[in-house]
Every structure is written in C-alpha cells, then in structure tokens.
Homo-oligomer: A and B are copies of this chain.
C-alpha cells in the first residue's frame, strides 16, 4: 500500500474543513457536497483533520463519520489521508488504528504537542507509530501549534530509514523547506502548506500542496498546479498572484491571522458558494460575525471567486 500511495501522491490535496450543524454535530449532507465539490474541482486527494479541519477539536464520533463519508465519496478515485494530531504517541496509535479500519490511504501525523518534544523524542514517536500501524505515514511539521520544528536531520533520518514516505510542511520555514527539497531521498513526497508560496515550492521541487485556502477556491490551486506542470509559467504567475490576493480572506482587520478566524473564513466561503450549510466552528472558536462574513464576501468578489 505504501508504494501504491507514493505513486498516487502529488498535486493539490485540500486540508478540508469539517462541516458542523448548528448543534455542533457532524453535518453529513454538507460534507458530502463539500467532498464532491473538491473532487469536481480536480483535487488530487483529500486530507481530513488537519488544522483547517479542526482535527484536534473534533469529537471521536465526528471524526469517524467524516472519514467514513470522505472514503465513500472519494470512492478510490483519489487518496484520502487523515491527520492524527494527538498530544501523545499512544493516543496517536489508538486513533490511527481506528482510522485504518475505515479504509484510508495514509496518515499525516504531527509530533506530540503538549510537552515540548525533543528531536530524539520526535524520531521515537514516528517509529512507534510506524511499528504499530500498517499505513503509509507523512510528517505534519507545524511548529506554530506543536512547538517543535522537525529538524532537517530528523526528517532525513525518518525518510531514509523508511519510517515516513513524505511530509506536509506547514513550518513557515521556507529556507528549511528549500534545503529539505534539495536533500530529500528520491521518492520522498514533499508538500507545502503555504498558499502564497505554491509556485516557489514547485520551483524548489515540491510534489504538491495542502493549502488551507483550497477550502475557499480549490479550482485556483488545481489550475496553478496544472499550468505549472505544463511549463506555462506566465499563466502560473498570474494565478499565483490571484491566490495571494485571495489570501487576504484570512487576515483580520488588525492585520493579524488567527486560526479560528481563518477557519471561519473557509467555512464562510464554502457557505457563500452554496456548498455547505452554516459556518459553525468548534469551541472555543468564536462564531463568525456578520462583519467577518462581509469581509469574506468582499474578498471573494474582488478575487472573482464569487
């Protein structure tokens, strides 16, 4: 299965949001429409329970239902990956085993994140998960939430020994990403989480992207990936510039970016585009305000998405 996933893993894999009903439960009907919307936009995979998917905030029941739905909708046409963002190794393993039963194609696992984790502990974490669960693993490198950067040395060690088959880099460390792209073993799958740096990541040799903003407009990312791989660089530059402008949807009036606000923007965009019902977020995120919704609408209209 590892080889199979490797062969299929490339392109745009949205870290899809998790639609919730007004009472906070999983909204299956919205989710079905959402996953289909992405597939119709041409995405190359679905990634559930990343940060954009509010993974660490969801109940077990919601995670189960969402994954079951995504696997069913995807129907084997594209790989379905699940994020496992648990505070400790044993909890990652327990969750990963439950997920495996649902027929997913791979796991994207973050380091433990309650305690500060040393590089030695990061390595032991991935090895333990690898030993316990027979599914391809990718590293989720996201120090803004986990407090630890998976170092270049750690990443290469895990890659070379075959513990992991790839990584989603949401580290914000573009220099480290470029160095990893240069040093990684052949076949190691490298994805960026950075919307506005997709062209730069492809230039560096990345295999694709897992961009939160693909929840707002997956078609733009698919187009960018397609024209880039076709070598039409001038078109790629124009699409990238549209994406940079669309990124403003994540920025609050005071110029800062916060997770709850950004995920609220994604849900609002999908709501405004008629894909999902409501914009309910997990606690403790605040509900989307009318002002917030108006800002999202405005950016979508300026960007030609609405």
Contact = CB atoms under 8 A, between A and B. Distances in A.
Nearest to A196: B178
A120 B286 contact: yes
Interface in A188-225: 194, 196-197, 199-200, 203-204
Contact of A258 (B112, B116, B124, B172): B116
B152 A255 contact: yes
A89 B284 contact: yes
B114 A57 contact: yes
A57 B88 contact: yes
A87 B87 contact: yes
A97 interface: no
Interface centre among A56, A114, A175, A284 (most CB of B within 10 A): A284
A299 interface: no
Contacts of A271: none
A116 to B, nearest CB: 7
A24 B191 CA distance: 35
A178 B244 contact: yes
A90 B59 contact: yes
B151 A89 contact: no
Nearest to A259: B115
A239 interface: no
Contacts of A144: 116
Given A258-B116, A286-B121, A196 B179 contact: yes
Contact of A182 (B118, B203, B244): B244
Contact of A114 (B113, B178, B204): B113
Given A144-B116, A284-B122, A179 B91 contact: no
A147 interface: yes
Contacts of A128: 283-284
A233 interface: yes
A64 to B, nearest CB: 14
24 contacts: A51-B114, A56-B87, A57-B112, A59-B90, A87-B87, A87-B113, A89-B284, A115-B145, A116-B144, A116-B145, A118-B258, A121-B260, A121-B284, A121-B285, A124-B283, A124-B284, A125-B284, A128-B284, A174-B194, A175-B194, A175-B197, A178-B197, A200-B203, A203-B203
Interface of A: 24, 51, 54, 56-59, 85-91, 94, 112-118, 120-122, 124-125, 128, 144-145, 147, 151-153, 172-175, 178-179, 182, 194, 196-197, 199-200, 203-204, 233, 237, 241, 244-245, 247, 255, 258-260, 282-286
Given A116-B258, A175-B196, A200-B203, 4 more contacts: A172-B174, A174-B194, A178-B244, A179-B244
The 9 tightest CB contacts between A and B, nearest first, are A57-B88, A200-B200, A174-B174, A89-B283, A56-B114, A56-B87, A121-B284, A125-B284, A115-B259
